[in-house]
Amino acid sequence: MLGCAGGRTVGRTAQPVPRPASPVPAASVDSLLATLTVRQRVGQVVVPWLSGSYTAFDDSLFQVAARWVDSLEVGGLIISVGSPLDIAAKLNALQRRSRLPLLVSADLEWGAGMRVVGATAFPQIMAVGATGDPRDAYTIGAAAAVEGRAVGIHVNFAPDADVNNNPANPIINVRSFGEDPRTVSRLVTEYVHGLHDHGMLATLKHFPGHGDTQIDSHIGLPLIPSGYARLDSIELVPFRAGIAAGADVVMSAHIAFPALTGSDEPGTLSAAVLTGLLRDSLRFPGLVVTDALTMGAIVAKYGAGETTVRAFLAGSDLLLMPADPDSAVAAMTTAVATGRITPQRLEQSVRRVLEIKRRLGLFQSRTVPLDSMMLVVGARRFQDQADDVAVRALTLVRDVGGRLHAVRAHRSRLALIAYADENNGGVGQTMAQLLRQGGDTVEYFRLWPMSGTLSYDSARAVIARAPGTVFAANVRPLSGRGTIALPDSLAALISATDSTRPTVVVSLGSPYLLNQAPGAKAYLVAWSGVRASERAVALALLGRVPITGHLPIRIPPAYPLGWGVVIPDAQP
């Protein structure tokens, strides 16, 4: 049996036992706060990670989550991938168990489909930079809010307010709206409005800016040597705009800024960054949340418990994904008991958390109905919006000799060589299906990161049987990988093929792949590997839609910000 601060006991087998809501009136945050012990207050600022997949109530994974709620009395959860019904049912069960309502968050950067299987998947948000239309940012935020709230999510850890001004950045890339601070600011503002107008909280990340890094903070500690003047004119511009738009949360970056802090400690653990810069200079009044505290940039150095204490002392209100929630609660409670964290400082953060929950109406209603979910999640109106954004985002960077024009003008036999990481086994299949439906004869072949000589020989055989080739590569930011690039063997295959036969290279992710195959004569960027983007590419290759996007970033050395070869009309 496990005892908890409130005197309740929790059995070894967790059951969906409903608990009454707090008897304290929802409007009286102060009176509610007064009823909480130090340990219960600490629990309110701890936010563990929860899988969204189905689990039975007596499954060990659900029992762990139930103990977080019952014994640690955590204040919130960050939910990961699962079906709408699985996520909602699990969250409802945990909400009913919890003494206080849980604040549920998720990364829904490009729509709820990023985490909720079957929900709408928009292109990555750099696609909005390519359309240049702030209404598209609003649309993604609005759809994420409606679908996310339907399954019980309250906080979107988006929009990404980073200015992606470093082409070698291995973790931001297409997650950013672009590299012009003013354009990013406009799009961040509209994304925040889209969320707010549909009942979801908005988060600006990764403060004070993760765009100019060459190290993935999931595996190491990036360092930005720039001083305040540079940050103020570039990185901080979208954060100021997002704060002015009313963003509710700011997420810290695990990045060192020695010119600001005088040390190599990451921003997440720096009072100079989170209190001095964010609170005092930018006057941000909302919740500050850490980036994941499991990330290699900090946890390996300080340990699970000490990392949480340092992040809280630096100015964070919510401690996201501690490596060990039990250690986090124990370390924080000890830090209060020893005077390292003052009761006033803890109360300040807990009050912010409770006030957010009150504003969301969670004290009155904390669960979601399951029977109406199919009317909302994945609805046709949202998918139509995603399709529309994906088409208008298509950006033609190069078409030397009219290679793409030729493919659009005549139906033909094509070799479609698709590439993506192992997590996207279906890459290119939607494209192939639609091209076949449109009249092309398509032979599809899939390459993987681990493909060897025999696979590449097979790809060459497929290429040899067709007069034209389309390479479709989904290379995207993946936490922990450390790079965003094509395998050298694939880059060589693209270059060799392009030199001997008509070839179109399509990027379903990073726009910078052209640097690995600089001789490619036709290069089309679709920004994302979601179904809507593959559909858009297929329609473009069939000549059925115009191509009107413009680069929201530079592709050195030849292609400037705003570049795009426009094909204004579809084929008759």
Q: Which of 126, 139, 54, 53 is nearest to 530 (CA)?
A: 126
- If you write DSSP's letter for every residue of 371-393 in order, what string do you get? TTGGGTTT-HHHHHHHHHHHHHH
Q: Are 468 and 412 in contact (CB under 8 A)?
A: yes
Single out the catalytic residue among 107, 291, 399, 440: 291
Our answer to whether residue 550 is catalytic in this structure is: no
Which residues lie closer than 8 Å to 368 by C-beta, 6 or more apart? 88, 91, 92, 149, 150, 151, 152
Residue type at 52 in one-letter notation: G
Q: Is 210 a catalytic residue?
A: no
Q: What region does 92 belong to: left with phi over 0, alpha with psi -120 to 50, or beta?
A: alpha
Cα separation of 408 and 392, whole Å?
Answer: 17
**Spatial distance between the Cα atoms of 234 and 106, rounded to a whole number of angstroms:** 27
- In the set 218, 248, 317, 399, the catalytic residue is 218
DSSP-assigned beta bridge partners for residue 443: 415
Would you give the distance in Å from CA 268 to the centre of its chain? 18
- Rounded Cα gap, residues 548 and 562, in angstroms: 11
CA distance 550 to 381: 26
Strand order from edge to edge, sheet including 395-399: 395-399, 522-525, 503-507, 468-474, 413-420, 441-447
Active site residues: 218, 291
